[in-house]
């Protein structure tokens, strides 16, 4: 008899939890935001990328628009209506912050050295579109077209009212301090993507600055899978940013609108982490359900804004 009561209680608890997760959620308040991944850029063939380990050599033969992390890409994304510009940032040799993805220049440009060894005077001689190809090196559509590596300050000067996500690639305290001082002098809303070490440093030194990392996203995901069925938002998912890979979305409790609404109550925004790929057709209307999209696809940005 006791066993039956325990089992019945468990069933009732689960049903109440699932009901709470799926039927008693708050309403979504507003559309999700569009983040221009790496400022915007051309479509990437991720199967090629797994072989080449080089984004510039892994472009898809369709969707050739611009070069990521450049002023031209960011301008196109802002014109298309992007809410947020995501950029990769390095601290270079003369203590300047510049926008580029790779640690080494050899894949994408006409130089072969570490980004960290650069100084500002050398930037104008580097062709940031030099190595980009969609046909294994037969043609280079962006070579000699004026794409450059620019200082981070140039993006803030060009887009003074834009929100930025800055993915800091340099993982040391000098970079943390330089970026912190840079952000403190700007009026733009800025979120920093950093390492676990960086998260700890910024939390101690600039607690008002929002940061997140691969680890914070993973921790939230694991914790939510354990308790999300009951409509509970764990502490690791509060006051942060949540990124969802498209192929994982269907496994997440309450996704999309119910989860987006619950997270918003805890100052957390959720985004589909689509990167330089085509947004899946079944996710095309996700913005209206309170979920943002991180994408480099300028055509998609324009279609939803």
Q: Give me the half-sphere count of Cα atoms (radius 13 Å) on the Cβ side of residue 274.
A: 29
pTM across the whole model: 0.91
Any residues with CB less than 8 A from the CB of 100 and at least 6 apart, and which? 69, 88, 90, 108, 115, 128, 149
pLDDT at residue number 193: 98
In angstroms and rounded to an integer, the radius of gyration of the C-alpha atoms of the chain is 21
Number of other CB atoms surrounding residue 46 within 10 Å = 13
Tens digit of pLDDT for each residue in 99-154?
999 999 999 999 999 999 999 999 989 999 999 999 999 999 999 999 999 999 99
Helix axes 196-205, 214-227, angle to 10 degrees: 100
Collapsing DSSP states into helix, strand and coil, what is residue 87?
A: strand
Report the candidate in 141, 161, 149, 115 with the shortest Cα–Cα distance to residue 59: 141
Report the candidate in 67, 69, 63 with the shortest Cα–Cα distance to residue 38: 69
Domains present along the chain, CATH in parentheses: 33-304 (3.20.20.190)
pLDDT at residue number 33: 96
Collapsing DSSP states into helix, strand and coil, what is residue 167?
A: strand
Any residues with CB less than 8 A from the CB of 68 and at least 6 apart, and which? 37, 38, 39, 40, 41, 42, 55, 101, 276, 296
Return the H-helix or E-strand segment holding 17. Answer: helix 2-23
Report the candidate in 59, 85, 202 with the shortest Cα–Cα distance to residue 150: 85
Mean pLDDT by 10 residues, the chain (305 residues): 48 49 66 97 95 96 95 97 98 97 97 95 95 97 97 97 97 97 95 97 96 97 93 95 94 93 96 92 88 95 90
Question: Would you say 114 and 103 are in contact if contact means Cβ atoms under 8 Å apart?
Answer: yes
pLDDT at residue number 10: 45
């Amino acid at each position: 008899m006791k066993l039956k009561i325990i089992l019945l209680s468990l069933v009732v608890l689960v049903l109440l939890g699932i009901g709470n997760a799926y039927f008693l959620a708050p309403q979504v308040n507003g559309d999700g935001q569009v983040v221009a991944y790496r400022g915007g850029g051309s479509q990437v063939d991720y199967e090629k990328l797994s072989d080449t380990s080089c984004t510039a050599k892994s472009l898809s033969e369709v969707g050739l628009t611009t070069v990521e992390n450049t002023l031209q890409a960011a301008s196109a994304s802002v014109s298309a209506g992007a809410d947020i510009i995501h950029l990769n940032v390095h601290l270079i040799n003369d203590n300047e912050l510049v926008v580029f993805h790779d640690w080494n220049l050899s894949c994408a440009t006409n130089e072969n050295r570490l980004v960290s060894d650069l100084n500002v005077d050398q930037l104008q001689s580097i062709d940031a579109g030099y190595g980009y190809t969609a046909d294994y090196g037969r043609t280079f559509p962006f070579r000699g077209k004026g794409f450059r590596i620019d200082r981070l300050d140039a993006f803030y000067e060009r887009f003074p009212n834009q929100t930025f996500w800055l993915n800091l690639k340099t993982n040391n305290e000098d970079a943390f301090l330089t970026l912190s001082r840079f952000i403190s002098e700007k009026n733009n809303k800025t979120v920093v993507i950093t390492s676990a070490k960086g998260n700890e440093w910024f939390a101690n030194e600039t607690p008002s600055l929002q940061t997140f990392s691969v680890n914070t996203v993973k921790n939230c995901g694991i914790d939510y899978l354990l308790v999300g069925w009951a409509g509970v938002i764990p502490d690791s998912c509060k006051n942060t940013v949540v990124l969802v890979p498209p192929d994982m979305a269907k496994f997440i409790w309450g996704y999309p609108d119910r989860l987006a609404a619950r997270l918003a109550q805890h100052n957390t925004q959720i985004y589909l982490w689509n990167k330089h790929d085509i947004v899946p057709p079944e996710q095309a209307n996700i913005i209206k359900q309170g979920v943002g999209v991180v994408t480099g696809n300028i055509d998609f940005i324009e279609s939803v804004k």
